[in-house]
Structure formats: C-alpha cells, structure tokens
Amino acid sequence: MTIGRESRARGAAAGAALGLAMVGAVALAGPAGATIDSTSKGMQCQGSAAITPKGGQPYTIVATQSKAHVPRRAGPVQYSGSTSPVSHHHHGEVKVKVGPVGVNVYSWASPNDGNKPSDAGTAKYPSAMKSAPPGIYRVTGFHTAAEGGCSGHMDITIDGSPLSSPAGAGAAVATVVSGVLMLAAGLAKKGRL
C-alpha cells in the first residue's frame, strides 16, 4: 500500500517498527523492535509501534531492538516516527522475507511540504497474519530522502501451533501422507506388500 500523505511514516525505524506491527510485524511478549543497520548523510531515525493483541495487554515495539514476538490478531496499531534532519521527497518500505522472496507489507512516500520532523497515527493490523505459520521471519525496512536515509532489520517470531494455520495444517497432512507412501514403498520393495 502506498501512502501519499506527508503525515505517514517517518524514517526507516518508524517504518520497520510499523512493519513489525503490521506483519505481526506478538504472541503476548514484552517490548521489542528493529535494529538500525545504516544511516546516510547523518540522518537519525527513530520509531515505535504500540500493539494490542486481541484479548491481550498492549505493548510497545521500539526501533532500537532486534527481536519481537508478534500476534496473529491485533487491534489497530499506534505508530510514531521521526527523522533528524527533516526529510523531504522521501519514500520507504518494509518487507518480510518469506522463503526466498521479500513481501512488501508497508510503503510510504511524501514531498513533506509541511516540513514535519515527525509523524504519528494509526494503521490497521493485517488480517493475513491469522494465516501465517509459526516461525521466525526477517523484516527489513528503509527510509530515504535527499537529506539522507536509514535502513534497519528485525527478526519476528510468530508463535503458535504448526496446526493453527492453513499452511501448517497442510504441511502436517503432507508429512503424514509422505510418511505413509515411504513406508508403503519400503514394504513393497521388501515384498511385504
């Protein structure tokens, strides 16, 4: 989703924190967030996201941390972010690595004609998270502008039973079917079938 309003995400840190929140981007864990990997031209980026899992207590993800647990379901995410110096004609995105592919979960762009150094708002938590299989995923994000930029990453853990998602249940069925077929092939080779 491309955000054209200048009041959307500020800085890769904010994007990464929001991306974490957006991706699922915490199975009832405490504070966590993103690691700032690099900055250019002295750009400083900060960000956070407050997530309230369905039926759980709210917690905040801060952009200076490297790991987080993410929930399958959550209410709206409150985010904030800032850059110093103020960035203009900026853009950025957050991706989650799923296998060999990076899936874009959040992106933004703005001329920032209002000269805003920071932004805060609310974003919808993605409903697709309820189908995500448990595991550890790498989230990456960046924010870039003529004044400089930042990039960051974090590892998110989606907790739960492997059978709690359609993909996990499908994998379990495929494993059982493969095992039965291998057993049948072994017995047939020995002449027992």
Q: Which one of 34-43, 126-135, 137-146, 158-167 scores highest in mean pLDDT?
A: 137-146
Extract the tokens encoding 104: 């874009």
In the chain, the percentage of residues whose pLDDT exceeds 90 is 17
Per-residue pLDDT band for 69 (boundaries 50, 70, 90) equals: confident
What does pTM read for this prediction? Answer: 0.64
Q: What pLDDT does 181 receive?
A: 63
Per-residue pLDDT band for 85 (boundaries 50, 70, 90) equals: very high
Q: What pLDDT does 65 receive?
A: 80
Whether the per-residue pLDDT at 116 is higher than 60: the answer is yes
CA 149 vs CA 36, 44, 50, 110, 138: distances in Å: 11, 8, 24, 14, 20
Overall average pLDDT of the 181-193 stretch = 61
Among positive and negative, which fits the CA dihedral 168, 172, 177, 179? positive
pLDDT tens figures, 9-66: 333 333 434 444 333 332 222 333 457 777 889 898 888 889 998 888 888 888 778 8
Q: Which helix (H) or strand (E) holds 178?
A: helix 166-189
Q: What pLDDT does 10 receive?
A: 35
Q: What pLDDT does 117 receive?
A: 93
